[in-house]
Amino acid sequence: MAMPEPNATAKKSTQETLIEVQNLKSHFFTESGVVKAVDGLNMSIKSGRVLGVVGESGCGKSITAQSIMRLLPEPQGRIVEGKITFYAPDGEVVDITSLDRHGKKMRSIRGQHIAMIFQEPMTSLNPVFTIGNQITETILLHQNVDKATAKKRAIEVLEQVDIPQAERRFYEYPHQMSGGQRQRAMIAMALSCNPSLLIADEPTTALDVTIQARMLRTMRELQDVYGMAIMMITHDLGVIGRMADDVLVMYVGKKVEESSVRNVFYNPKHPYTQGLLKSIPIIGLKGARLSPIAGTVPSPYNLPKGCKFAERCPKRMDHCIENEPPEFEVEPGHLVACWLYE
């Protein structure tokens, strides 16, 4: 596989903060009430590292990503509080929440510095334009190159994501490609401008196991070349175990645990994280039964008063029902929002 030359981003320290999220609150205002999709989230993404974000459907993973990209469907959904700081490769520090989401500055960040792979490639790709047209449009918008160079780069990234006969596929429309090929085309589009941060929202959903493994390996190789950070959003803990350096676990809009992937997998502290790991089937272990998390996720219109996981938690105390826990640092870099560690 031909790999492009590294850009300046690759020279950044893997310990530099690229994105810092402080007390982010992204809410949706509906006729039935206010949905606190993300409610007071603090997190950071380091250059050159992979942050895995996990949790059940509706926990706020994708809304966090859309908030960083300023793609919330306004006016129903909007950031009501908090700060998202972007530390640009050229040294500029930008508060993304203060920018006009349709303005020139935000459009220069979105796509060029921060790119996103969306869950649904068929709805994300424009059906009336060819795949090549859509990728070259992104390159021409953010890079100072001519059409011939943009086309060459587009074909190159299609080859990088293992699309066969990339030069022919360049002229095809989304409906002429399989679901997996469309997903890979979305990945190619996101990678075309060598972003500092790649947000991957369920990037391997439409791929079979063999292609999934190749895509994950390709993303890791490209990360090594460019030094880019990756925010990997997925339900698949196997993908997290393979890809992530750090893990953030979310539950109904809140962070419940954050640490290195090793700590989260081998020393989970929050009862919710422990429940997720116990729900993973173990191949070859005869007679073993899955241990699902009891109960259901609470309604977003009627969230409980204290700890949001208390009603499902096997270790709950009376204190949990009435009081929402803050984050406790149980060891350096290992944060847990649970009263067990007060």
What per-residue confidence (pLDDT) applies to 142?
Answer: 87
Quick one: which of 124, 109, 296 has its CA closest to 201?
124
**Contact in structure between 136 and 147 (CB atoms under 8 Å):** yes
Does 94 have pLDDT greater than 90? yes
Does 269 have pLDDT greater than 60? yes
Does 248 have pLDDT greater than 80? yes
What per-residue confidence (pLDDT) applies to 286?
Answer: 63
Specify the pTM: 0.88
Average pLDDT, the chain: 88
Q: Look at 2-11, 78-87, 89-98 and tell me which has the smallest mean pLDDT.
A: 2-11
Does 63 have pLDDT greater than 50? yes
Write down the residue that tokens 């020139």 correspond to. Answer: 104
Mean pLDDT of 36-51: 94
What per-residue confidence (pLDDT) applies to 52?
Answer: 96
What per-residue confidence (pLDDT) applies to 340?
Answer: 95
Mean pLDDT of 38-67: 94
What per-residue confidence (pLDDT) applies to 8?
Answer: 38
pLDDT in tens, 158-176: 998 888 899 999 999 999 9
Tell me the pLDDT band of 264, cut-offs 50, 70 and 90: very high
What per-residue confidence (pLDDT) applies to 252?
Answer: 94
Tell me the pLDDT band of 14, cut-offs 50, 70 and 90: very low
Does 64 have pLDDT greater than 60? yes
Mean pLDDT of 206-214: 76
What per-residue confidence (pLDDT) applies to 149?
Answer: 94
**Contact in structure between 1 and 218 (CB atoms under 8 Å):** yes
Tokens of 205: 């959903």
Mean pLDDT of 275-298: 78
**Contact in structure between 216 and 204 (CB atoms under 8 Å):** yes
**Contact in structure between 55 and 254 (CB atoms under 8 Å):** no
CA distance 75 to 121: 25
* Residue scoring higher pLDDT (154 or 205): 154
